[in-house]
Amino acid sequence: MNEFINAFHSVFTQGNILYMLRGLGVTLYVALISIILSTIFGTILALFRTYGNKALKAVSVTYIEIFRNTPNLLWVLAIRFMVRMPEPFDAPMYSGILAFTLFTSAVMAEIVRGGLNSIPQGQFEAAYSQGFGFFQTMIHIILPQCFKAIVPALLSQVITVIKDTSFLAQVAIEEFFNNSKWIMSAQIDSTVNQTVRVFIIFGFVALVYFVINFTLSCIVRSNRKKQTA
């Protein structure tokens, strides 16, 4: 018990807590911006693939298949070390955002395409009969229904992005998992059981990820129940 208490106090110092919280802020920021950008870009890709001409379909299919069939970590490494980000986006964090946006856009495109395919053709015919053009129909009628239908799949991808930000630790970007690893390896104290220390740190990291993602799941489930009530 004393070993656990000593290890706990060695991990949760004020400096360590602030360092991990700063990393958590980076994690959430990268995830949020990546999700927003990839949802926009993924929707465009889905529209190209579903309603575009042959050239647009070919471009979107090629992009989607390349990114869906290669590891996310590969793009994190490639963009971090091979792509020079322009100012003012030359901080390492932005290379992570770019990598996650490029990869997640392909997944989002397939999710949105599934939603678009679930919309009855009669919705288009009804909109056209009222004088709506294609873009008006998409913005005011089709896409709102599409996104309502794909909320569970979108949430699943949001959770995946939040968890996968831990890949950024491989390129020394100071996100939550990387900062926690640094605390684990730093400040070695011979009076503290290092095995217990590692257990506490990784347990805390797992707990934080679980709380964030489980909270998101509960919010969406609650909204879905209200909609179906």
Are 168 and 175 contacting, i.e. CB atoms less than 8 angstroms apart? yes
Helix (H) and strand (E) counts in the chain: 11, 0
Residue 224 binned pLDDT confidence (cut-offs 50, 70, 90): low
pLDDT at position 36 is: 96
- The pTM for the full model equals 0.88
Amino acid 111 reads I
pLDDT at position 226 is: 64
Are 168 and 96 contacting, i.e. CB atoms less than 8 angstroms apart? yes
What would the pLDDT profile of 83-96 be if each residue is shown by its tens digit?
A: 888 888 878 899 99
Going along the chain from its start, the domains and CATH numbers come out as 22-188 (1.10.3720.10)
Q: How far apart are CA 159 and CA 165, in angstroms?
A: 10
Query: Is the predicted pLDDT of residue 225 greater than 70, yes or no?
Result: no
Are 175 and 23 contacting, i.e. CB atoms less than 8 angstroms apart? yes
Residue 125 binned pLDDT confidence (cut-offs 50, 70, 90): confident
pLDDT at position 130 is: 84
pLDDT at position 189 is: 58
What is the separation of C-alpha 201 from the centre of its chain, rounded to a whole number of angstroms? 23
What three-state secondary structure class fits 82? Answer: helix
Q: How far apart are CA 189 and CA 8, in angstroms?
A: 13
Distances in Å between the Cα of 72 and the Cα atoms of 63, 106, 197 are: 14, 11, 30
What is the separation of C-alpha 99 from the centre of its chain, rounded to a whole number of angstroms? 11
What would the pLDDT profile of 27-82 be if each residue is shown by its tens digit?
A: 999 999 999 999 999 999 999 999 989 999 999 999 999 999 999 999 999 999 88
Query: Is the predicted pLDDT of residue 228 greater than 70, yes or no?
Result: no
User: What's the CA angle centered on 225, arms 224 and 229, to 5 degrees?
Assistant: 120
Amino acid 168 reads L
What would the pLDDT profile of 153-211 be if each residue is shown by its tens digit?
A: 898 899 999 999 999 998 888 899 998 888 877 655 555 667 788 888 889 999 999 99
